[in-house]
Amino acid sequence: MLTSNDPLLALSDLSVRFTLRGSTFSAVRSLSLTIPRSTIVGLVGESGCGKSLTARAILRLPPQNASLSGQILFHGANLLDVPEEAMRALRGRHISMIFQEPQTALNPVLTVGHQAQEVLEIHRPDTKNAMRERVLELFSQVGIPNADLRYASYPHELSGGMRQRVMIAMSLLGDPELLLADEPTTALDATMRQQILFLLLEQSAARGMSILCISHDLDLVRSFAETVAVMYAGRLVEQASVAELFSHPLHPYTKGLLAASPSALKPGVRRLTTIPGAVPQLTAMPKGCPFAPRCSLASDPCRKDFPPRCGDASHAVYCWNPLWVHVTCSVGQKKVSAQRTYCGQKKSCWAWTDERSLPFAKLSVWLMCTGWTSHFL
C-alpha cells in the first residue's frame, strides 16, 4: 500500500546494457534515484553519461539492442514487469517526455496539429472541436504565434525552436504526473526559455506534476530544480538539494563540473576551467571509479572498486575521498559546528573546529567526532 510519502518514481539498481560483438557493456550502471511527488529533479552530467538513456529506460523505450535490468517503480509497480499494452496507456498520459531532438521525434508526414491532437484522442478523448481548442490553447501557452495557422504546418515548415515548443505542448496535453524533460530549452532563445520554464513550473505547481529535468546547463538546473543528481560514465555520483550541491559539492567531478560552468568565470577571466582528460569509452571503462583517470584525488581504493554510497538522503555521494564539508556533530552533550573530511565507510572521523566554547578548541586541536553517524552513514 503506497502512502503520500512514497516517491512517485523510484529507480533501483537500474542498468542499461548493450551487446556488441559478443561482449556486454553497461551505459547506465546500478542507478538508484527517486523522484518525489510534485518535485523537480535535475539530472546533469557530460554528454554520453547516460542521462537521456535513463529517461528512455523509464519509458521502456531504450535503443533496440539494449536490455534493461533492475527496478523502475512507478506508483509502486515495477514498469519492467508491466505488459507492453499497459505501457502504451501510460506513456503520454501518466509519464510523458520532451525529447531532445524534435526534428526526429515528430512525424514528418503529419501536421503538428494532427500529431498533438492524437495525444488527446488516445488519452483524453473528447469532441473534435474541444480537442482542437485544447491543442490551440497549449500551442499559445508555449509561445507559438498564430497557433491556428501553425496547427496545419508540417514539422519541416517550422524552425527548431518552434518544433521544440510543439514537443513541449504535446508532452503536457495528457496532464502527466511525471514529465521527463530532456534538454527542454536548448533550441530556444533566452526570453522564450524563461517563458517555457515558467510554464513548466506553473504546471508542476498547479497539478502536482513532477519533472525530471535533464540538462548539461547547470545554471538552468540551479534556477529550476529542487534537487539535483550528477551522473558520470553511466553512474550516479552525487545527489543533493540544489542549494547544498551548488554550495558544497562533495564529489571531485561535481566540483570540476561547477568550476567549468560559464557562470563560474571570474570578472576579467576569459578562459573557462576544464576537467582534464575525457569521459572513458563504454568499451574501455576503467576498473573501480570511472573518474579515477581524471581525478587529482585518486588513491589505490579508487582504482580497485567503485565507491560505496556515503551520506544520507539529503546529500549522498559515491567517492572514496569526498571533499571538505561543513557538518554539525555531537561531542558529549555539545553540538559542534565543524569542517571535516569525509571518512567513507568508517564509523568515526576527525573534525576541525574553531568552536571557542570548547576549551581544547582554543588550542586549535583536531577533535574526535563520533556523533556524525546520525548525519552520514
Q: Which chain residues interact with ligand SF4 by CB under 6 A? A: 251-253, 289, 291-292, 295, 297-298, 302, 307, 319-321
Nearer to ligand SF4 among residue 166 and residue 292 (C-beta): 292
Residue keyed to cell 539529503: 314
Nearer to ligand SF4 among residue 162 and residue 237 (C-beta): 237
Nearer to ligand SF4 among residue 99 and residue 320 (C-beta): 320
Nearer to ligand SF4 among residue 304 and residue 335 (C-beta): 304
Distance of closest approach, residue 210 Cβ to ligand SF4, in angstroms: 29
Nearer to ligand SF4 among residue 143 and residue 256 (C-beta): 256
Distance of closest approach, residue 53 Cβ to ligand SF4, in angstroms: 22
Distance of closest approach, residue 49 Cβ to ligand SF4, in angstroms: 14
Distance of closest approach, residue 298 Cβ to ligand SF4, in angstroms: 4
Distance of closest approach, residue 320 Cβ to ligand SF4, in angstroms: 4
Nearer to ligand SF4 among residue 125 and residue 286 (C-beta): 286
Query: CA 368 → CA 135, 174, 333, 361, distances in Å?
Result: 63, 55, 14, 12
Tell the burial category of 188 from Cβ atoms under 10 Å away from its Cβ (0-12, 13-18, 19+). Answer: buried
Using CA atoms, how far apart are residues 109 and 32, in angstroms rounded to an integer? 39
User: 277: phi > 0 → left, psi -120 to 50 → alpha, else beta; which?
Assistant: left
Q: Spell out the residues 6+ positions from residue 104 whose beta carbon is closer than 8 angstroms to its own.
A: none
Nearer to ligand SF4 among residue 176 and residue 252 (C-beta): 252
DSSP 8-state symbol, 362: G
Name the 3-class secondary structure at 343.
coil
Distance of closest approach, residue 254 Cβ to ligand SF4, in angstroms: 9
Q: Spell out the residues 6+ positions from residue 360 whose beta carbon is closer than 8 angstroms to its own.
A: 367
DSSP 8-state symbol, 374: G
Instruction: Give the pairing of strands 40-44 and 227-232.
Output: parallel
Distance of closest approach, residue 323 Cβ to ligand SF4, in angstroms: 9
Q: Tell me if 73 sits within 8 A of 9, measured CB to CB.
A: yes
Nearer to ligand SF4 among residue 76 and residue 286 (C-beta): 286
Name the 3-class secondary structure at 38.
coil
Distance of closest approach, residue 319 Cβ to ligand SF4, in angstroms: 3
Query: CA 81 → CA 9, 70, 77, 347, distances in Å?
Result: 15, 11, 8, 39
Using CA atoms, how far apart are residues 16 and 234, in angstroms rounded to an integer? 9
Residue keyed to cell 519492467: 80
